Structure 1
Amino acid sequence: MSTANIDINYGAISGLSVDVSEVSGDLAKSATKVSSVSVSSSGFQMTDGCNSFSGTVAQQINDVSSEVSNTADKLSQTANSVSQMEQEAAESIEKFFSSLGGADS
């Protein structure tokens, strides 16, 4: 794998990490909106059930948001690993060419 390929992969993974983080933020906002929905009508007998349902939906969205956030963290860690691999590969290539030239390494 050339360093150019590693650069491209790092950029793609890093960009994906940012995208996933944004999705996580959007989901958290949606959960907040859903949890704020309440039914309050004296003539509506299922008010508690509806409010409980919106709370459940909000919790499920929060759960998904947490998983998406964890995915973003893992992608960020992967991007960092790829970046480190890129640096190590560049150092190895430099060492190799230095040794061909007879320079001390």
Structure 2
Amino acid sequence: ATTNDLRRYPRFNPPQPTFSAWQSANQRLVSRVGNLGLGGLFIRTPEPPPLGTLIQLLLDTSEGEIRARAEVKSSRPKEGMGVKIVAMQQDDRARFARWLKRLSHPPNPG
């Protein structure tokens, strides 16, 4: 099975550029988000941390700031990292779910 087959939640590409501030024990960066879902996201960064690294995430969305802890599950040098959300406060998860719902059902123009 591929990684995509194992995903619990669908992934979405943000309609406009979306960025995440993130930090590990020895890195602190702001990077563009590739795709995302309730279970995790792909963060574009030229030098991703090693697999298993825990990071803190901060997403600034139309629903407000969303904070989470995540673990690096895939790492592609010069491309980025796939991270799995491992901890999130209940109100952050609610904001994240509302934002993803909006991304998956964009309003019809006109």
Greater fraction strand: 2
Query: With structure 1 as the length reference, what TM-score do the two structures score?
Result: 0.26
Larger radius of gyration between Structure 1 and Structure 2: 1
Query: With structure 2 as the length reference, what TM-score do the two structures score?
Result: 0.25
RCO comparison, higher one (Cα < 8 Å, 6+): 1
